[in-house]
């Protein structure tokens, strides 16, 4: 099961990813975690990414895709994975598609958690208030100001992925504002429906391929047409010959009848 979860910050992607990880036994792959692991392992791609990060530069898409490509080849991702934080843009999605195609893989589904941004802000504010009441440290990305920046970035960069994956018939949407158990149940339903659709789509090409006639060699169509024309010509000639024979026989019949009459008449005279 290869999945992507889409939705703005605070929509519950992390919670649902953890549940799906436990249910299907597949890893949740965070772009940040993968980058740090690659840098720590000093892989060729990790060294390149580490140099860029050390200089404060953004890691380009091709490097991120290469890191994802290395990660999904590890044993724990054999049965699938959940991508977290990647892709963030349409060009990254296109690069991911090319990489998966090269590996003879494909995504099974992209789950969008739809939310109301106004209620989302209220949810974050409530969470911050509860953390403060417990005396817990507030996460830097949980402040209203930071959340607004992150949501704005999502609208500009990541939201277009909804149309992209919808056009590729991979998008499955659910109400992210429902309770956690309700969202989980709906995701399970959507994934079951998606697997059925994929299986049905895969069966159609095989059926058509089995019924398809073998391709002819170049020039075979010309030869077949010429052979058909020659056969028709022979049939016309044969038909013409039969017609000629019938006409000749018709002409001979009156002459024979006349000769028989003459012979009979001569016999009576004698």
Could you give the residue numbers annotated as active site?
A: 13, 88, 127, 139, 150
CB burial class (10 A; 0-12, 13-18, 19+) of residue 64? buried
Task: Read off the DSSP letter of residue 259.
Answer: H
Composition of the chain by helix, strand, coil, percent to 5: 70, 10, 25
3-state secondary structure of 42: coil
- What are the phi and psi torsion angles at 113 (to 5°)? -95, 105
The CA-atom distances, in angstroms, between 20 and each of 37, 52, 56, 191, 201 are 22, 33, 34, 11, 24
Q: Which two tokens stand for residue 186?
A: 């709906």
Q: Enumerate the β-bridge partners of residue 110.
A: 4, 171
Look up tokens 């549940």; give the residue.
19
Torsion angle in degrees (nearest 10) through CA of 104, 162, 30, 115 = -150
- DSSP secondary structure, 62-120, as one string: HHHHHHHHHHTTSGGGTT-EEEES---SHHHHHHHHHHHHHTT----EEEEEE--HHHH
Alpha carbon of residue 205 to chain centroid: 13
């Amino acid at each position: 099961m290869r999945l992507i979860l889409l939705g703005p910050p605070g929509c519950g992607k992390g919670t649902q990813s953890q549940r799906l990880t436990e249910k299907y036994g597949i890893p949740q792959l965070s772009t940040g975690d993968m980058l740090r692991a690659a840098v720590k392992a000093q892989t060729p791609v990790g060294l390149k990414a580490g140099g860029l990060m050390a200089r404060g530069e953004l890691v380009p898409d091709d490097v991120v895709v290469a890191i994802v490509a290395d990660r999904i080849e590890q044993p724990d991702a054999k049965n699938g994975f959940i991508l977290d934080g990647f892709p963030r843009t349409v060009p990254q999605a296109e690069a991911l598609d090319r990489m998966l195609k090269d590996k003879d893989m494909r995504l099974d589904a992209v789950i969008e958690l739809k939310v109301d941004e106004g209620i989302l802000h209220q949810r974050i504010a409530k969470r911050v208030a509860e953390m403060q009441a417990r005396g817990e440290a507030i996460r830097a990305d949980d402040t209203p100001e930071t959340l607004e920046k992150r949501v704005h970035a999502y609208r500009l960069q990541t939201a277009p992925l909804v149309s992209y994956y919808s056009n590729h018939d991979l998008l499955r949407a659910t109400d992210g504002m429902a309770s956690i158990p309700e969202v989980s149940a709906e995701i399970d339903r959507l994934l079951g429906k998606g697997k059925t659709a994929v299986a049905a789509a895969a069966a159609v090409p095989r059926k058509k391929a089995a019924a398809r006639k073998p391709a002819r060699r170049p020039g075979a169509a010309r030869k077949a047409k010429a052979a058909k024309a020659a056969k028709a010509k022979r049939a016309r000639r044969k038909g013409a010959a039969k017609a000629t024979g019938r006409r000749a026989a018709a002409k001979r019949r009156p002459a024979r009848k006349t000769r028989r009459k003459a012979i009979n008449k001569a016999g009576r005279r004698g």
